[in-house]
Amino acid sequence: MSQATSSRFWLIRPFGERATQVFLGVLLAALVIVTVLHVAVPQGSPLHVNAYTVNLFGKYLSYALLAVAVDLVWGYLGILSLGHGAFFAIGGYAMGMYLMRQIGDRGTYGHPVLPDFMVFLNWESLPWYWQGFDMAWFAFAMVLLAPGLLALVFGFLAFRSRVTGVYLSIITQALTFALMLAFFRNEMGFGGNNGLTDFREILGFNLRSSDTRLGLFLASGVALALGYLLCRAVVTSKLGRVCVATRDAEARTRFIGYRVERFQLFVFVVSAMLAGVAGALYVPQVGIINPSEFSPLFSIEIVLWVALGGRATLYGAVIGAILVNYAKTVFTGVMPDAWLFALGGLFVLVTVLLPKGVAGLLHTRRRASMSDKTPHKEATA
Amino acid sequence: MSLLQSLQARDRVFDFMAPAASRVDVRHGPILYMEDVTVSFDGFKAINKLNLTIDDGELRCIIGPNGAGKTTMMDIITGKTRPTEGSVWFGSRHNLLQMNEPEIASLGIGRKFQKPTVFEALSVFENLELAMAADKRIFPTLTARMTGEIKDRIEEVLETIGLTGLRFQLAGILSHGQKQWLEIGMLLMQRPRLLLVDEPVAGMTEQEMERTGELLTSLAGKQSVVVVEHDMGFVRSIARKVTVLHQGSVLAEGSMNEVSNDPNVVEVYLGADDEEIA
């Protein structure tokens, strides 16, 4: 019950929640088990988790963080963003630029400063927006700031003009599509359709070593836990309740004195930054970032993960992202052509049978057990 | 002289620290004062030289046939519509015609619209919490904590509107009448000085009407309440003083008995449809 917990400091409030405790427990257990099975179990054993699988799990975790970011704006604020892939990709590009600069003179052309694709395009010097990305702190700050700034400008214009609903969904699609076209151009200086790749090191660690991959997997897990906690703290605060109020009755919320467009902008920017972090964790694990991450289809897929997992729970988004991507890995291995049909079928099934997603199953059971206790609570309140 | 007096005042040293509503000056009696107010829409006078005075703590019912200007009058008080001429004062200090809607709302004038809108996905308690007068900027809202004081205030309002037992229920499952009371409660959370209530009992059952009547009469005294209503039985049951509007101006004013015996009223309104007064 929010009433019982909300006298605490807002950032620690989620720790008092059962759902958060279970979520963190499961996540921690998963991280520990995978690490142990990877490091301690000998390679020949059937229980051994190889570096490829660790890497794959790391990728799922970064997708899960992205899904949490989308659930924050869609589930709680009612803004169906079909362009969150753009923030994910921009965070990824910021990380990619850092990794490119780390290559130094070991590229194919051996230029001390310029990345290969710039040498290939006969560029004389580094464009201004590539400056500073040789420093990790700057690049990591940009992972947050670049998507945040884009969301701030875009959101300011959209929410100030009270663009919501389907119209907002459409312009977010247009945003990511426009960025995709822009990033495809070689003149943009982001490697055109090849994107950024051939990375070697991150913070001095060799990206191709299995230890670094394990480290990135764990970092993704920690980022997911922190991102989840932050979102949980936001949605259990009074601000979270203002968001839900805005989602359900925007005019009424404005009428009782909340500047709705500012709340929307704030949550949208936080969500975009989380998506940027997810992108930055994703890129070193897959070893490439190219404009296909801006593709509108990818953004729609993220929304599908959240819908399948269950909206407005946050942990549902995590379940959805992991389940769908695991299914994708399996399917594209067995029958690559059938994947999109399977995804479509899954979506239809869940919409018909589980309108509240996979999390809805857990939620109804929890609600049922909670309602037994409610009268007792009221009596003691 | 008045400056000297205000310097000597010790109960409120810093004016800007006091909540807006307490700055309303009602020493001269009326909390709302409308004089010679006229509104014309393209020559049609929706309000025509209206004079209306509401005393502090009064419960006033406003009746009148459709098109008498009841809703327009509410719109003028809340700042939604600007009159063509006339003056509207809140207490003897605030000229409402120079203020915009949010400023008027923060002065302590709350309006309840006909159709109840509550936040259905939030509990009754949370609905009241959101409506409470507080710092409504982003970061204060994010870091807001539930204090004993806030809780007491919410419990007090829950008691007033009779929803104490339903405080943890989602507002979405409330009945129509309960939603109306919750909405009145949400207005009360903002500690209003004047409540404008538009047709509170439309669509209610007998018992709900009765409880609404009790609620509104219990609110009077602590704050002034203006009720616009069509249901004559209901008006008769709660009203101490009734104002009859007709074609944008006051036709009669007084107790329900005086008003319903007034020949003008009988002619233009009540007499036209005898069943309505019964």
Provide the token pair at A282: 């994703």
Query: CA-CA distance, B227 to B180, in Å (whole number)?
Result: 14
Residues in chain A with CB shorter than 8 Å from the CB of B119 are 241, 244-245, 248-249, 252-253
Q: How would you class B174 by CB atoms within 10 Å of its CB: exposed for 0-12, middle for 13-18, buried for 19 or more?
A: buried
Query: CA-CA distance, B160 to B217, in Å (whole number)?
Result: 11
Average per-residue pLDDT for chain B = 85
Nearest-by-Cβ selection for B138 from A249, A252, A263? A263
pLDDT tier at B261, thresholds 50, 70, 90: confident
φ, ψ of residue B251 in degrees (nearest 5): -95, -40
pLDDT tier at B226, thresholds 50, 70, 90: very high
Question: What angle do helix axes A296-309 and A165-184 make, rounded to 10 degrees?
Answer: 140
pLDDT tier at B263, thresholds 50, 70, 90: confident
Is residue A249 scored above 70 in pLDDT?
A: yes
Q: What is the pLDDT at residue B135?
A: 87
Provide the token pair at A202: 């991150």
B165 and A242 within 8 Å at the Cβ level: the answer is: no
Site from A238, A248, A258, A373 to mutate, B interface, most B CB atoms within 10 angstroms: A238
Residues in chain A with CB shorter than 8 Å from the CB of B151 are 3
A247 and B136 within 8 Å at the Cβ level: the answer is: no
Q: What does the DSSP 8-state code read for residue B266?
A: I
Helix (H), strand (E), coil (C) string for B129-158: HHHCCCCCCHHHHHHCCCCHHHHHHHHHHH
Measured in residues, chain B has a length of 278
A3 and B117 within 8 Å at the Cβ level: the answer is: no
B136 and A238 within 8 Å at the Cβ level: the answer is: no
Q: How far is CA B224 from CA A103, A235, A368, B193, in A?
A: 74, 37, 44, 6
CB distance from A258 to chain B under 8 Å? yes
Provide the token pair at A377: 């609570």
The domain spans of chain A are: 2-26+54-380
B141 and A258 within 8 Å at the Cβ level: the answer is: yes
B120 and A248 within 8 Å at the Cβ level: the answer is: yes
Site from B168, B182, B196 to mutate, A interface, most A CB atoms within 10 angstroms: B168
Residues in chain B with CB shorter than 8 Å from the CB of A378 are 165, 167-168
List all residues of chain A from 312 to 351 with a beta carbon under 8 Å from chain B: none
- Across the range B220-242, mean pLDDT stands at 87
Residues in chain B with CB shorter than 8 Å from the CB of A269 are none
pLDDT tens across A208-242, in order? 999 999 999 999 999 999 999 999 999 999 999 99
Residues in chain A with CB shorter than 8 Å from the CB of B102 are 257
Residues in chain B with CB shorter than 8 Å from the CB of A258 are 130, 136, 141
> Are B91 and A221 a contacting pair, CB within 8 Å?
no
Q: What is the pLDDT at residue A376?
A: 39
pLDDT tens across B44-95, in order? 888 999 999 999 889 999 988 888 888 889 989 988 889 999 999 998 888 9
Which chain B residue lies closest to A249 (C-alpha atoms)? B119
Query: CA-CA distance, A323 to A316, in Å (whole number)?
Result: 10
List all residues of chain A from 76 to 95 with a beta carbon under 8 Å from chain B: none
CA distance A237 to chain B (A): 6
Query: CA-CA distance, A17 to A2, in Å (whole number)?
Result: 9
- Weakest mean pLDDT among A201-205, A287-291, B271-275: B271-275
CB distance from A2 to chain B under 8 Å? yes
CA distance A233 to chain B (A): 9
CA distance A75 to chain B (A): 12
What 3-state DSSP class applies to B60?
strand
Classify strands B85-90 and B94-95 as parallel, antiparallel or unpaired.
antiparallel
Is residue B141 scored above 80 in pLDDT?
A: yes
- Across the range B226-232, mean pLDDT stands at 87
Residues in chain B with CB shorter than 8 Å from the CB of A256 are 130-131, 186, 190
A6 and B146 within 8 Å at the Cβ level: the answer is: yes
Which chain B residue lies closest to A10 (C-alpha atoms)? B143
CA distance B37 to chain A (A): 26
Site from B101, B117, B119, B164 to mutate, A interface, most A CB atoms within 10 angstroms: B119
Q: What is the pLDDT at residue B15?
A: 52
Could you report how far apart the first and last alpha carbons of chain A are, in Å?
11
Question: What angle do helix axes A296-309 and A357-380 make, rounded to 10 degrees?
Answer: 40
B138 and A266 within 8 Å at the Cβ level: the answer is: yes
Provide the token pair at A129: 């927006």
- Across the range A304-314, mean pLDDT stands at 93
Is residue B265 scored above 50 in pLDDT?
A: yes
The domain spans of chain B are: 19-277
B145 and A6 within 8 Å at the Cβ level: the answer is: yes
Is residue A124 scored above 80 in pLDDT?
A: yes
CA distance A306 to chain B (A): 19
Query: CA-CA distance, A240 to B23, in Å (whole number)?
Result: 32
Which chain B residue lies closest to A256 (C-alpha atoms)? B131
pLDDT tier at A4, thresholds 50, 70, 90: very low
Is residue B188 scored above 80 in pLDDT?
A: yes
Give the residue carrying structure tokens 């965070």: A91
Beta partners for B243? B62, B253
* Statement: B19-277 belongs to CATH 3.40.50.300: yes
Nearest-by-Cβ selection for B130 from A241, A247, A266? A241
**% residues pLDDT > 90 (chain A):** 72
Which amino acid would we find at residue A356?
A: K
Q: What is the pLDDT at residue B269?
A: 66
Beta partners for B45? B40
Is residue A131 scored above 80 in pLDDT?
A: yes
Size of interface A-B (CB pairs under 8 A): 85
Residues in chain B with CB shorter than 8 Å from the CB of A374 are 168
CB distance from B102 to chain A under 8 Å? yes
Beta partners for B32? B54, B90
Q: What is the pLDDT at residue B275?
A: 45
Site from B78, B112, B132, B146 to mutate, A interface, most A CB atoms within 10 angstroms: B146
- Across the range A80-95, mean pLDDT stands at 97
List all residues of chain B from 180 to 209 with a beta carbon under 8 Å from chain A: 186, 190
Query: CA-CA distance, A375 to A258, in Å (whole number)?
Result: 33
CB distance from B81 to chain A under 8 Å? no
Query: CA-CA distance, B195 to B65, in Å (whole number)?
Result: 22
Query: CA-CA distance, A231 to A181, in Å (whole number)?
Result: 32
